[in-house]
């Protein structure tokens, strides 16, 4: 008999498994329908021998010391600061938009002290910032919106920015300085041996049994367990009783080139040309030295694995209906990007699971007071 059946071996599930097994002495079965652990962060060596990320580039960054230190027990870190260029008007310019972007794009000679006033002149006034279009128009104005955001967002989500919550494009800040980094978090690093190795360490405990290639619905009746941690899509758990929650998918196309370097930075975004949104060259992320190089092109699509919850009011409304159902199940805990329908980065998912573990422990020890000792939740994307 297992104490916990954990559905999903991504960060949300693996962190729960590790905590429950090593801190609470629980016996855990963690099951994933894929043929590997690691969820969307799974990486592997391709046929050329280059470390690639099967489900698109995953760059770790966080402002949470708790999360960074916790994961640091299972991996060494390799410092890495991601830089992205956007292909706009035949040029490759830095994104997030900053002083360098404006000067390169428009042939200006602005100083840092002049950027705010310059952008203020371009910006459109908005009484209320509700949509992803509002966010961008009200900070950088229409020309930059059209050059950097409109086409990319349409490709990525198959929605106009005016149809998406403000939170989506608000992930990308505007900077008045020359900081070309994609993120500004305190901790920016990659697991030195890759994510899969990190997960092998996380799950390396005698109380944890791992089962892959199995949908939990096919095995849950045949194994004994007391409680469940569920990290798959929340609508699937409830057999889509209120209808399907929209998740955006992506087709990842990998190519290996017989040259040591393919492009001039880790990722190049293509807001306006091509059906793909961005191209990422993995050796920048891993630091691997190899005579060849592998890249991934991201083609967003409607069908396929559920990668992105789609942040817009009607979807939040539908999710709330499912969330009410989750509250009727005291022995099933929902955590992670798919189970709580939140556009979370890895560090936020790790924090969410660490928090849930503390909540479960607090409930077990003090069911009456219901004291919850949460860890500080990383709330920003760190690109600001
Ligand atoms: P997942 O990793 O999706 O794990 C859920 C697991 O549950 C999956 O392995 C799935 O197979 C399994 N599962 C689902 N249903 C069942 C079932 N019925 N039975 C058994 N198993 C099931 N975050 C960052 O911080 N930095 C980045 O650079 C970054 N880049 C990203 C790029 C892309 C293209 C995508 C899609 C996401 C990116 N993220 C990034 C976000 C990151 O992937 C997530 O925050 C994180 O992986 C979520 O972990 P999770 O455990 O909640 O979900
Ligand atoms: N975005 C954009 N142009 C860009 C980069 C991002 O319009 O060059 C918008 C787009 O809507 C995207 C969102 O900002 O989905 C968030 O971008 P991020 O790079 O954080 O996306 P992720 O890495 O999560 O796919």
Atom of ligand 2 nearest to the CA of 298: 25
What's the pLDDT score for residue 373?
45
Atom of ligand 2 nearest to the CA of 169: 14
Whether 375 has a pLDDT exceeding 70, the answer reads no
What's the pLDDT score for residue 376?
53
CA 301 from chain centre, in angstroms, equals: 17
Atom of ligand 2 nearest to the CA of 153: 11
pTM over the 0.85 mark: yes
CA of 199 relative to ligand 1 center, distance in Å: 13
Which ligand gives the minimal distance to the CA of 310?
2
Could you tell me which residues are beta bridge partners of residue 190? 78
CATH architecture of 2-78+191-245+309-365: 3-Layer(aba) Sandwich (3.40)
Q: Which residues line ligand 1 (CB under 6 A)?
A: 7-13, 31-34, 39-41, 55-59, 215-216, 231-232, 236, 250, 307-308, 336-338, 344-347, 349
Ligand 2 pocket, 152 CB below 6 A?
A: yes
Place of tokens 């200006």: 108
β 225-230/2-7 pair status: parallel
Model confidence band, residue 53 (pLDDT cutoffs 50, 70, 90):
very high
Distance of alpha carbon 196 from alpha carbon 10, whole angstroms: 10
Whether 371 has a pLDDT exceeding 50, the answer reads no
Looking at the chain, the domain(s) classified CATH 3.40.50.720 span 2-78+191-245+309-365
- Specify the residue with its C-alpha closest to ligand 1, atom 41: 345
Whether 367 has a pLDDT exceeding 80, the answer reads no
β 61-62/187-191 pair status: antiparallel
Largest Cα separation within the chain, whole Å, is 69
Whether 328 has a pLDDT exceeding 50, the answer reads yes
CA of 53 relative to ligand 2 center, distance in Å: 18
Atom of ligand 2 nearest to the CA of 150: 7
Residue 203 sits at φ, ψ, to 5 deg, of: -95, 5
- pLDDT (mean) for 259-266: 98
pLDDT per position as a tens digit, 288-326: 999 999 999 999 999 999 999 999 999 999 999 999 999
What count of other Cβ atoms lies within 10 Å of the Cβ of residue 79?
Answer: 10
Ligand 2 pocket, 172 CB below 6 A?
A: yes
CA of 326 relative to ligand 1 center, distance in Å: 20
What are all long-range contacts of 175-178, with beta carbons under 8 Å and residues at least 24 apart? 175/96, 175/97, 175/98, 175/99, 176/98, 176/99, 176/112, 176/115, 176/116, 177/98, 177/99, 177/112, 177/115, 178/98, 178/99, 178/100, 178/112
- pLDDT (mean) for 92-114: 98
Which ligand gives the minimal distance to the CA of 277?
2
Could you tell me which residues are beta bridge partners of residue 31? 7, 211
Distance of alpha carbon 223 from alpha carbon 119, whole angstroms: 60
CA of 27 relative to ligand 2 center, distance in Å: 40
């Amino acid at each position: 008999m297992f104490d916990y059946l954990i559905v999903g071996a991504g960060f949300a599930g693996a962190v729960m498994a590790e905590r429950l097994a090593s801190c609470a002495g629980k016996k855990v079965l963690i099951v994933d329908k894929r043929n590997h652990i690691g969820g969307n962060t799974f990486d592997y060596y391709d046929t050329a021998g280059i470390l690639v990320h099967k489900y698109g580039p995953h760059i770790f960054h966080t402002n949470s010391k708790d999360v960074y230190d916790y994961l640091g027990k299972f991996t060494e870190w390799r410092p890495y600061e991601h830089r992205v260029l956007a292909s706009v008007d035949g040029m490759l310019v830095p994104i997030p938009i900053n002083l360098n972007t404006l000067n390169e794009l428009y042939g200006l000679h602005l100083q840092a002290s002049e950027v705010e006033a310059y952008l203020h002149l371009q910006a459109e006034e908005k009484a209320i910032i509700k949509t992803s279009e509002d966010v961008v128009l009200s900070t950088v104005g229409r020309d930059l919106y059209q050059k950097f955001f409109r086409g990319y967002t349409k490709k990525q989500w198959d929605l106009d920015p005016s149809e998406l919550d403000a939170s989506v494009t608000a992930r990308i800040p505007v900077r008045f300085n020359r900081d070309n980094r994609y993120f500004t978090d305190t901790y920016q690093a990659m697991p030195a041996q890759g994510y899969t190795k990190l997960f092998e360490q996380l799950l390396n405990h005698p109380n944890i049994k791992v089962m892959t290639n199995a949908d939990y619905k096919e095995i849950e009746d045949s194994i004994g367990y007391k409680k469940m941690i569920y990290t798959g899509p929340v609508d699937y758990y409830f057999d889509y009783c209120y209808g399907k929650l929209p998740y955006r998918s992506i087709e990842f196309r990998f190519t290996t080139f017989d040259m040591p370097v393919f492009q001039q930075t880790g990722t190049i975004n293509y807001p306006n040309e091509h059906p793909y949104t961005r191209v990422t060259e993995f050796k920048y992320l891993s630091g691997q030295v190899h005579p060849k190089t592998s890249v991934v092109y991201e083609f967003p699509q409607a069908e396929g694995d559920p990668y992105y919850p789609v942040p817009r009011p009607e979807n939040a409304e539908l999710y709330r209906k499912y969330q009410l159902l989750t509250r009727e199940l005291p022995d099933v805990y929902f955590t992670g990007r798919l189970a709580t329908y939140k556009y979370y980065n890895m560090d936020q998912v790790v924090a969410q699971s660490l928090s849930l573990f503390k909540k479960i422990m607090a409930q077990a020890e003090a069911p009456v007071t219901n004291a919850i000792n949460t860890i500080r939740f990383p709330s920003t994307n760190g690109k600001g």
